[in-house]
Structure 1
Amino acid sequence: MEQRGSVPWLFLNRPTKRNALNNALTTASERQVDEVAADTDTAVVVLAGEGPGFSAGGDFRHSRVLATEYKVMFEQRRRLHRSSR
């Protein structure tokens, strides 16, 4: 985050991946937003991306990892449910 006059600038900082959103970038952005939201004098915030572009959107590699983790978790819960019958 950078303060320019009375306006805080928040930056997506993953330029090598065109600022594609993954868990780490989302968590870092949420922390910045929480910090800015705590300042009741702030009326405007600028969100910008480091590098040549703002953001490519979601990181599909990260989405595949999440899908695999959810699949494993679902399968574990399904087995647990079956064993409890």
Structure 2
Amino acid sequence: MILGATPRREADGLVCSSKGCRAQARHAVVWNNPRLHVPDRRKVWLACEEHRDHLRDFVQLRGFLIDVLPVEELTEADG
């Protein structure tokens, strides 16, 4: 599965980052690749209920996972 590069917004809200998914995002998978990003950079993939575990596991397996949180808890530092 290929993942979206940036969070997508539609008229009805945030959309899951999983390729081809159009479901509303409920979760934010926050991650950082230390080989590419400065330590305080927080990348975000948005996830619907169906794809939350897959997206989390994808970055966790690589050691990139910072947190998984509800989209309502995202801040300006995330993105």
Same-fold call, TM > 0.5?
A: no
Structure (1/2) with the larger helix percentage: 1
- Higher relative contact order (CA closer than 8 Å, sequence separation 6+): 1
TM-score (norm 2): 0.30
Which structure is higher in strand share? 2
Task: Please say which structure displays the higher CA radius of gyration.
Answer: 1
